Amino acid sequence: MSRVPTVEEAEQAIVLREDLNVGQLGLISIQRKIAEDYAQWKVSFNRNGIPSEIECNGIQKYGVPHGIDNDTYLALQELYIEQGCPDDGLFGFTMYRLLQLCGLADTGANRQMLRVSLERLSSTQYWISGAWRSHEDDDWVTVGFRLIEKLIFTRSRRDTDGAKQIAVTLPRELTRNIRNGYFKPVSATLLRQLGQPARAAYRVLDSLRHDPVQHHDRAATLTISLMDLAQRCGIASDRPDKIRRTLEPIHEMLIQTEYLTGVVITGVGRKQSLTYSFGQAVPEPDARLVELLVALKVPLVAAKKAAFDYAGQVEDGVAQARAILTHGYSPANPVGFVLDVVRSYGNGKYAWPSGTHQPKEVEAARTRIQKQVKKEVAKVEAELAQPSRDDLLRVLSFLLVGEHLRAEDLATLPTETLISLRSQVLTRPGAERRQVAQGVRRLLAEQRELPL
């Protein structure tokens, strides 16, 4: 019998979704800490050839959004989708659920940190000139809003431990985009492998891969100027050397997790540019399962999320929800009801109405889907286990930079040797990689009589 995944493992397997504007515009700095007086910024750039400007005005008490706010805001978008994308952007949740989605332990310090994060997001005003993509209008617009338009903490009078329930209203510009499908996937599995600021940088780079108009199109490589990337990441410096030092450990971590297969830096000073090569893309859900949910008026983004996270339960769950609705049940929130039936299918929360039962065809379809999912997972795992020689050479050249090992020398080694070296380098800290490099030089010397 196969092992039932734990709650933590199930959370890690989820693919999250976020509005594409947030990452591409760099509204939240990736930096974990900022100067105490850093409460506003203003930048100008071109987005899709359109001159654009963004002004961010926080308050002195909190500063501008940064660090943990990246996790908080991703979690809020996830909660909005999870609750069926309400038209008014208003939804409620507990602090414990927010901690779960941010990957944080339930401690007093973490609760206080997230409360401050919510207050900072709620108190910061943005003015975005010509750069906000309105997917429904197929246009670029000028908008002003706060990332949290309204924030309410509630608790009983006898509760001394702080708020038990939180209510948030997200801005209409964001929720319209999400409901109309202008979002991109975010791998929760990858997020759990990364620390800040690499988690936030991953989301920025991943958003920049997407075409801002044909947003489903994602490039395999990305070239961007160093200064432009610093701006998009909210790195508060105009010194190229300091920006490079900030990015280098991020690059290394993203290569170790195989999100990146290589980073090439060209040029000097402020004219430097970076070319990123990306690894595996986040998979998309079965389109047929998405259609089943959309047919019950589930918004596209919520349908995609449910179809991916609960692929083996969608057909049964939709069939059960239809049966319950057909027999006269009228829920206050029809979309939320359908999603809840799908998520909880099989645990006994909802019963099939009298005289109905699960069709054999549905069971057969679920079996087919499960087999297909296993097949695709096995295929991806096989591809990850057998990287190409080019990928191996790019990774080794990057990780052994400074050890005077040229890519053309490494290319003379057998593939099996390159795979072994890659494994050794990825499992050792930087200080110990010199030993690996010495071993490589010995191999090369034996082959080509190179000096040690």
Is residue 33 one of the residues assigned to a domain? yes
- Do 292 and 272 reside in the same domain of the chain? no
CA–CA dist 144, 129 (Å, integer): 8
- Do 125 and 178 reside in the same domain of the chain? yes
- Do 128 and 236 reside in the same domain of the chain? yes
Is residue 2 one of the residues assigned to a domain? no
- Do 372 and 393 reside in the same domain of the chain? no
- Do 70 and 113 reside in the same domain of the chain? yes
34 token code pair: 């900022």
Closest CA to 19 of 79, 89, 77, 88: 77
pLDDT in tens, 164-189: 789 999 999 999 999 988 988 898 88
Is residue 162 one of the residues assigned to a domain? yes
CA–CA dist 53, 396 (Å, integer): 39
pLDDT in tens, 188-210: 888 888 888 999 999 999 999 99
288 token code pair: 């047929």
| CB atoms closer than 10 angstroms to residue 148 | 22
Is residue 384 one of the residues assigned to a domain? no
- Do 235 and 167 reside in the same domain of the chain? yes
Closest CA to 295 of 324, 327, 328, 318: 318
- Do 142 and 37 reside in the same domain of the chain? yes
Per-residue pLDDT of the chain (452 residues; tens, 9 = 90+): 333 334 444 444 467 889 999 999 999 999 999 998 899 999 988 887 888 899 999 999 999 999 999 999 999 999 999 888 999 999 999 999 999 999 899 999 999 999 999 999 999 999 999 899 999 889 999 999 999 999 999 876 665 555 578 999 999 999 999 998 898 889 888 888 888 899 999 999 999 999 999 888 888 899 999 999 999 999 988 899 999 999 999 999 999 988 999 999 999 999 999 999 998 666 678 888 988 998 888 888 788 888 888 888 899 999 999 999 988 888 888 888 999 999 889 888 888 887 776 655 555 656 676 777 677 666 655 555 566 777 777 777 777 766 777 777 778 888 778 777 777 766 665 566 677 777 788 777 776 654 44
Domain end marker among 278, 301, 334: 278
Is residue 1 one of the residues assigned to a domain? no
Write out the residue range of the structural domain in which residue 44 sits.
7-278
- Do 176 and 296 reside in the same domain of the chain? no
Domain count, the chain: 3
Is residue 356 one of the residues assigned to a domain? yes
- Do 27 and 93 reside in the same domain of the chain? yes
- Do 299 and 415 reside in the same domain of the chain? no
Is residue 383 one of the residues assigned to a domain? no
Is residue 109 one of the residues assigned to a domain? yes
CA–CA dist 407, 168 (Å, integer): 52
85 neighbors 299 (Cβ within 8 angstroms): yes
pLDDT in tens, 324-338: 998 888 888 888 899
- Do 208 and 301 reside in the same domain of the chain? no
Place of tokens 């974990």: 32
- Do 294 and 186 reside in the same domain of the chain? no
Domain end marker among 229, 253, 278: 278
